[in-house]
Structure 1
Amino acid sequence: MPNPIPFSVLDFAPIRAGETAAHALRQTVDMARLAETLGFLRYWVAEHHGVQTVASAATSVVIGHIAAHTSTLRVGSGGIMLPNHTPFMVAEQFGTLESLYPGRIDLGVGRASGSADAVTKALRSSQEARERFPDDLRELQSFFREPEPGNNLRAVPGAGLDVPIWVLASSPYSAQQAAALGLPLAFATHIGPDARDPAIAAYRSAFEPSAVLDKPYVVVAGVVTAAPTDEEARHLFSSMQQLSLRRLRSTPFAQLQPPIADFDTLPTEDERPRLDAALRAVITGGPQQVEQKLAKLIEETDADEVMVLSFIHDLDARRRSLEIVGKVRDSLNARRHALQ
């Protein structure tokens, strides 16, 4: 009998137009509490810097705040961008979180900077740091082990603690790093939709069993905008479309804007196919459409877990979307059970 597929949440702590990061962080805690009530497994927050839309830049601080206001939810990073940090400091931060909230902390790491060039410079990050990712990942693992005799370099807290490390990927490169170390993989379809299948295939084919995992484990993350009707979902999704159009135009990101009825009039003829391609992995619709599309996603990827994110401006609609996804999860798992 197949195990139920767990569902989790990725949150960028989006800052709505006219509000501040303080508003966004309070809203993130509210959403995490709802996710816990609805039976979601994890709640991860993303690291981005210098972006007016995102309030989760100090990711480990946000994780601690969410963990303090929930009780059973696993809380983690989706992810810590390793080129922006030293592995030793990451081990200390997440060792501290694990010490405060034992058995509830996940450490997802990625190799991008998560920032524009000017911010990357301010972070003292670099292309060299990105290229060092495989070595830094191994070094990070080492700081959670007990040091060898004679080695006085010890992460405190950190050494000897069980902090699960996940590798985030949007391309085959990071997927292969996860495979080489026998670590779980979280693939971001919202960033690399075209790379999804080759990355997951590369991970599974090259996977080396480890003390962490004896077989591959794949989380597939993607944008889901669910609403009572397909029409309402399409309308709500126009908030993310506006963000994506700004990105396509290399325009500085603004705060999350309310949905608009006439978004289709905004892209030029040249921009439209590029925008559609960038957003082609997004799942939008009413409960039936969302269930069909999530079922297809799980079938195509053989995902072990699904992680959803959204950029919905209206807070009630954001909550309702998560509630719909929770019901879809239960329906999909009931169908899996019935087939056996």
Structure 2
Amino acid sequence: MKLSVLDLAPADPDTSYETALADIVRLAQRAEGAGFERVWYAEHHNMPSIASSATSVLIAHVAANTERIRLGAGGVMLPNHSPLVIAEQFGTLAALHPGRIDLGLGRAPGTDQKTFRALRRDPMASERFPSDVVELQEFLAGRKPIEGVGAAPVAATPPPLYILGSSLFGASLAAQLGLPYAFASHFAPDQMTQALATYRENFQPSEQLEEPYAIVGANVVAHTDREVAAEIEREVLKRRVASFVKRANAEARPFTDDELELIVDSPQGRQITNMMRVRAVGDAEDVRAGLVQIQAQTGADELMLAFHGRSAEERLGALDIAAAAELDPAR
């Protein structure tokens, strides 16, 4: 079973951004040493708790501080950019780090409507996502989809494209274009089974890919002590609920810990925490069993793991436990 990492690039409230960025590098280095396939970072804007807004810059920095592991965007939110600019950025990255750069693409803006306006983008940009993906593909290959306009640098090995999604739209597009598909089941699992089936049933071979290739996101909360893992899980879920409330009402006062406990157990709280239900929690044996079950349920070619914890050290520890979990489904 191929394992990869989705680094959510958390900027913990009690640390500086400089520390958060250094922790991101440490996680990639640890993942490389443990034999993970790749590490991806997602583009988000106007979210102070996430340090991956300048995704291509972050990838460049991590690539310069690692040696072999693949690195990429999981993803670039293409409606926020012109295909030409992304082709220039990722063509540069692929030329600097040959054979190590991936480009995952998402259709959502990855932010709220006010921030989308601040990005100076057309509200209809999401509707052009399929044609923009094709245009980007042409630019990266060194062709000129717009007469007289090409992207440079053009890498000898262009970065492979991946379609990200949490619905049937992305699954259908990935199948139509013959591209790998990464399903965001780590935060939006409702249509996971249907989307993966749609992708596989409708896949059309392409220059990049002969057969369907599906990546499935999963959350991991792990500790050598199962009870501590359960404590971490509870804290992660409380933070998740608090972030949703804050996003809905930026002026809301912070909740006390007792209030969060009540909210998490409420119907509304369970609706939010249920979005993270594709997860493996516990010690090495629990995590191994959980991930094997997710792979068996989805038939994923690769699991992309988002490691959670109350600190960078707990996230690093969770990565170590997953790496040592002997993920053999036949075991």
Could you say what the CA RMSD is over the residues aligned between the two structures, in angstroms? Answer: 2.3
Aligned to 1:30, which of 11, 26, 30? 26
Note if 1:244 corresponds to 2:237. no
Alignment TM-score, normalising by the size of structure 1: 0.90
**8 Å CA contact retained: 2:188, 2:276:** no
**8 Å CA contact retained: 1:13, 1:28:** yes
What SS does the corresponding residue of 2:71 show, helix, strand or coil? Answer: strand
Partner residue of 2:158? Answer: 162
Change (3 A) 1:263 1:136: same
Partner residue of 2:185? Answer: 189
What 5-or-longer segments of structure 2 have no aligned partner? none
Which piece of structure 1 moves more, 243-252 or 165-174?
243-252
Shift of 1:13: 1.3
Partner residue of 2:284? Answer: 287
Which piece of structure 1 moves more, 244-253 or 292-301?
244-253
Change (3 A) 1:322 1:98: same
Partner residue of 1:324? Answer: 321
Shift of 1:144: 1.6
Partner residue of 1:302? Answer: 299
Partner residue of 1:64? Answer: 60
Which piece of structure 1 moves more, 101-110 or 286-295?
286-295
The number of residues matched between the two structures is 326
**8 Å CA contact retained: 1:53, 1:253:** no
Note if 1:200 corresponds to 2:196. yes
Shift of 1:262: 8.9
Give identity over the alignment, percent: 38
Partner residue of 1:277? Answer: 274
Task: State the Cα deviation string for residues 17-56 of structure 1 (Å, max 9, x = none).
Answer: 1222221111000110000000011011111011011011
Partner residue of 1:130? Answer: 126
**8 Å CA contact retained: 2:279, 2:290:** no
Partner residue of 1:8? Answer: 4
Q: Mapping of 1:137-176 within 5 angstroms? A: 137-147=133-143, 151-158=147-154, 161-176=157-172
**8 Å CA contact retained: 1:8, 1:308:** yes
Residue identity opposite 1:332 in structure 2: L
Question: Matches of 1:123 and 1:160 in 2, distance apart?
Answer: 31
Question: Matches of 2:31 and 2:318 in 1, distance apart?
Answer: 11
Question: Matches of 1:263 and 1:214 in 2, distance apart?
Answer: 48
Task: State the Cα deviation string for residues 127-184 of structure 1 (Å, max 9, x = none).
Answer: 4111111011111111022336994311001376421001111111111111100000
Question: Matches of 2:140 and 2:267 in 1, distance apart?
Answer: 50
Question: Matches of 1:320 and 1:279 in 2, distance apart?
Answer: 20
Question: Matches of 1:34 and 1:137 in 2, distance apart?
Answer: 32
Question: Matches of 2:63 and 2:142 in 1, distance apart?
Answer: 26
Partner residue of 2:211? Answer: 215
